[in-house]
């Protein structure tokens, strides 16, 4: 039986979802998708970059990731909308629910992308292209936004196909179509080829995917190591990864935040670390896991970045323990330059319930701290994240559970 994989990609997801919400729930007279518009972060909070843009904005030269001032210079009449991540999560969930009616093998690749293995169910809906059109049209009819659907026999080619002409399209990229449809494209358009890899390929005289596909794989490996093997295989349409019904377990947990002002003193920085530790530790406990490695990252006002990590003697998910380790790492790392961005990251995830070795020289009652954390989690789960707040955050400009997505 021929394998049939669909890749579904929402067209300008954040902007499309914002437009649909405004049209059908707020009675907006203008569709953001039809004018130069963009979803952008809060410039006042120093998160002012373009997150998604409309097709008219794209025609003005506006790019995802550029700053609001840059975008405004290109298009003075650009309409900006603030991000609403809670709305986006609901839209994503509604999309995935529809996809699971076509197959039980759905892998959510990101908030606005998914792979669907249609091998066993495609015959129920017609030929692959017919099924893809049916799926695409139903999503628009029921949810109000458009998607592109790529159809192929593996995940790589399906994803490449969905990136062809947009919006609201179905494209195929079967293996027999690779030379005609994919090989003429420039190498930066190949999945897994970033800017640095593209520059290396250009320096080797390789400018198209076809030229990469016909290169000597041994030579590619010698020059680009493992990356060379991967991109050569992708250029030839080779991908054997299955559609995963369940997401793989997290290998690490982390959170970071851009601070609205430059931090120049350690006490303020440590309040941010405490807020980040609160959110990270809560996620660990919610998933029933512990971690054994903690890292702190600092981005200075000049955008330079440095990080430092420590391996713990015992794994933990206790907020105070993560915070205290983060503070120790911060003290070792910070060079007194003004701080723009802070992050707390963890790894070494343990799912077993390890017992902690008691020490005569340890002044902490970790069992009591663990019970306290669980009680706080229960209160916040029932009454909201702001139901309990540490006194250190009263009348402070720092949110007591910083980082992650905003809580509109």
- Just list the catalytic residues: 113
Q: Are strands 170-172 and 147-152 parallel, antiparallel or unpaired?
A: parallel
CB atoms within 10 A of CB 47: 16
Listed residue (17, 42, 39, 20) closest to 30, CA to CA? 20
Burial of 80 (0-12, 13-18, 19+ CB in 10 A): middle
Is 402 in contact with 275 (CB distance < 8 Å)?
yes
Q: What is the DSSP string of 287-304?
A: TT-BEEEEEEEEEETT--
Contacts of 277 (CB under 8 A, 6+ apart): 319, 322, 323, 326, 344
| CA separation for the pair 20, 390 (Å, rounded) | 39
Distance set, CA 304 to CA 13, 67, 125, 301, 335 (Å): 31, 18, 53, 7, 12
| CA separation for the pair 91, 98 (Å, rounded) | 11
């Amino acid at each position: 039986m021929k394998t049939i994989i669909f890749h579904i990609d929402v067209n300008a997801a954040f902007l499309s979802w914002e437009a649909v919400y405004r049209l059908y729930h707020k009675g907006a007279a203008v569709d953001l998708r039809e004018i130069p518009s963009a979803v952008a972060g809060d410039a006042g909070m120093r998160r002012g970059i373009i997150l998604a843009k409309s097709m008219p904005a794209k025609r003005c030269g506006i790019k995802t990731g550029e700053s609001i001032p840059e975008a405004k210079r290109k298009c003075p009449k650009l309409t900006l909308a603030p991000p609403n991540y809670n709305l986006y999560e609901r839209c994503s969930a509604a999309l995935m629910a529809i996809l699971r009616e076509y197959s039980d093998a759905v892998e959510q690749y990101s908030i606005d992308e998914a792979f669907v293995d249609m091998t066993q169910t495609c015959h129920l809906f017609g030929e692959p292209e017919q099924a893809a059109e049916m799926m695409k049209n139903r999503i628009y009819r029921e949810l109000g936004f458009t998607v592109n659907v790529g159809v192929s026999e593996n995940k790589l080619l399906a994803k490449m196909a969905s990136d062809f002409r947009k919006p609201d399209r179905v494209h195929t990229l079967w293996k027999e179509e690779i030379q005609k449809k994919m090989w003429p494209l420039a190498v930066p358009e190949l999945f897994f080829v970033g800017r640095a890899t593209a520059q290396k390929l250009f320096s080797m005289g390789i400018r198209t995917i076809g030229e990469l596909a016909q290169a000597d794989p041994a030579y590619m490996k010698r020059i680009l190591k493992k990356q060379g093997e991967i991109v050569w295989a992708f250029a030839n349409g080779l991908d054997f990864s299955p559609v995963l019904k369940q997401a793989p377990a997290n290998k690490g947990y982390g959170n970071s935040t851009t601070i609205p002002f430059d931090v120049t003193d350690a006490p303020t920085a440590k309040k941010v670390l405490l807020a980040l530790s609160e959110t990270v530790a809560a996620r660990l406990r919610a998933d029933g896991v512990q971690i054994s490695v903690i890292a702190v990252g600092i981005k200075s006002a000049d955008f330079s970045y440095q990080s430092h990590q420590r391996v713990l003697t015992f794994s933990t998910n206790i907020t105070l323990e993560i915070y205290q380790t983060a503070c120790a790492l911060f003290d070792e790392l910070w060079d007194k330059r003004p701080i723009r961005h802070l992050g707390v990251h963890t790894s070494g995830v343990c799912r077993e319930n390890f017992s902690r070795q008691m020490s005569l020289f340890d002044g902490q009652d970790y069992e009591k701290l663990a019970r306290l954390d669980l009680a706080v989690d229960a209160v916040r789960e029932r009454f909201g994240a702001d139901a309990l707040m540490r006194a250190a955050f009263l009348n402070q400009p720092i949110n007591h559970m910083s980082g992650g997505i905003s809580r509109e």
